[in-house]
Structure 1
């Protein structure tokens, strides 16, 4: 009987600790030590690595012509931060925020940019085989949204696709009108049948 009484406060404490964890001001997700690692800008504002990477993908045109370095504008104060060559993963990590996370997340995991993706590789021992010298490698990549801006020109095709779309709309409208006419005819003929049932001597209805 004493074990459940001890477990309930522990569960409540875990829920409270999760609720008190700091979160990113852009996506409102709690920080972690992988994709949501708290990164510092030059203005000392802190955001998660994923949000800064997505912001960088949107701001690809804002580059320094002399050094070719990327400038990132802070979402709060608009102060420009010059990004390293490796992008947002190379920014300084806020140790103050990282230390507020659970103890197993105090160590920052290696994350890097690979084209339009943010990638993370983790090596763990194979729990199925139980052999300590057979690690299983997990590689997780997330799209940072740069592909959306690349796919934008597909929507700007003013030629034949627009004309075909208009023809399709006209066909739909014509089909709708035909269906409506058929529906009216069916309703009228069904009314006549009912009228004939009551008045068999009447041959037509106006």
Structure 2
């Protein structure tokens, strides 16, 4: 009997081979999953991302009650108690070292753009001292889609605070120098006649 082509293993289909090791890093930031801020959270579409990336996406979203998957664009409604209460990916957690398989209790304050360790698991008191107790994930988005920073900033201030590479900066200085030189020569030649 000939094999059915639909039954053949396809390496590009996720979840086909049950014995395959799951991805142990976030598909957005490529950080290794852990049991604190990079806890693997699974969305309804079955894609897994770290809590930190999901929090960063949430503070920039105009719809804070859902998360849109970065891969398939499907929406997952957030639990009533917030983002940290999304289901953990137990398969990924099972591949982490034994000391990282119990997840920390994390609190997410969207208004402040912070993830905070609420309390450490009782089995790992020494790990709790070695991790940061909070993580800034960015400023939340206001109703008009602009980041709320407490005061309006002009476009010029925003541009001046944007980091430039050295080559861009040197090019701008050269262009301004040439322009200033041309203007000086023009006015000097005009005034001398």
TM-score range, shorter chain: 0.5 to 0.7
List per-residue Cα deviations over 1:131-172 (Å, max 9, x = no partner).
xxxx979861111112582239424479xxxxxxxxxx9xx9
- Which residue does 1:62 correspond to in 2? 63
Please give the alpha-carbon distance, in whole angstroms, between the structure 1 residues aligned to 2:30 and 2:156.
37
Please give the alpha-carbon distance, in whole angstroms, between the structure 2 residues aligned to 1:79 and 1:150.
27
Please give the alpha-carbon distance, in whole angstroms, between the structure 2 residues aligned to 1:102 and 1:79.
31
Equivalent of residue 36 in structure 2, options 28, 34, 42: 34
Tell me how many residue pairs correspond in the alignment.
Answer: 134
Where does structure 2 lack aligned partners over 5 or more consecutive residues? Answer: 1-21, 142-146, 158-172, 186-193
Please give the alpha-carbon distance, in whole angstroms, between the structure 1 residues aligned to 2:100 and 2:130.
19
List per-residue Cα deviations over 1:95-142 (Å, max 9, x = no partner).
0000001111011111111332000144847xxxxxxxxx97986111
User: For the Cα contact (< 8 Å) 1:124–1:137, is it kept in 2?
Assistant: no
**Considering only aligned residues, what root-mean-square deviation do their CA atoms show, in Å?**
3.6
- Which residue does 1:49 correspond to in 2? 51
List per-residue Cα deviations over 1:170-204 (Å, max 9, x = no partner).
xx96xx75xx99xxxxxxxxxxxxxxxxxxxxxxx
Please give the alpha-carbon distance, in whole angstroms, between the structure 2 residues aligned to 1:137 and 1:28.
22
Q: How does 1:38-117 map to 2 (within 5 A)?
A: 38-59=40-61, 61-62=62-63, 70-114=65-109, 115-117=112-114
- Which residue does 1:142 correspond to in 2? 135
Larger relative helix fraction: 1
Q: How does 1:181-200 map to 2 (within 5 A)?
A: none
With the length of structure 2 as denominator, give the TM-score of the two structures. Answer: 0.57
User: For the Cα contact (< 8 Å) 2:60–2:140, is it kept in 1?
Assistant: no
Please give the alpha-carbon distance, in whole angstroms, between the structure 1 residues aligned to 2:69 and 2:131.
32
Deviation at 1:85, TM superposition (A): 3.0
Structure 1 residue ranges (4+ consecutive) displaced by more than 6 angstroms after TM superposition: 135-139
List per-residue Cα deviations over 1:58-82 (Å, max 9, x = no partner).
11x225xxxxxx0211111111100
- Which residue does 2:12 correspond to in 1? none
Please give the alpha-carbon distance, in whole angstroms, between the structure 1 residues aligned to 2:78 and 2:39.
16
Q: Give the number of the structure whose alpha-carbon radius of gyration is greater.
A: 1
Where does structure 1 lack aligned partners over 5 or more consecutive residues? Answer: 1-19, 64-69, 126-134, 159-168, 182-206
With the length of structure 1 as denominator, give the TM-score of the two structures. Answer: 0.54
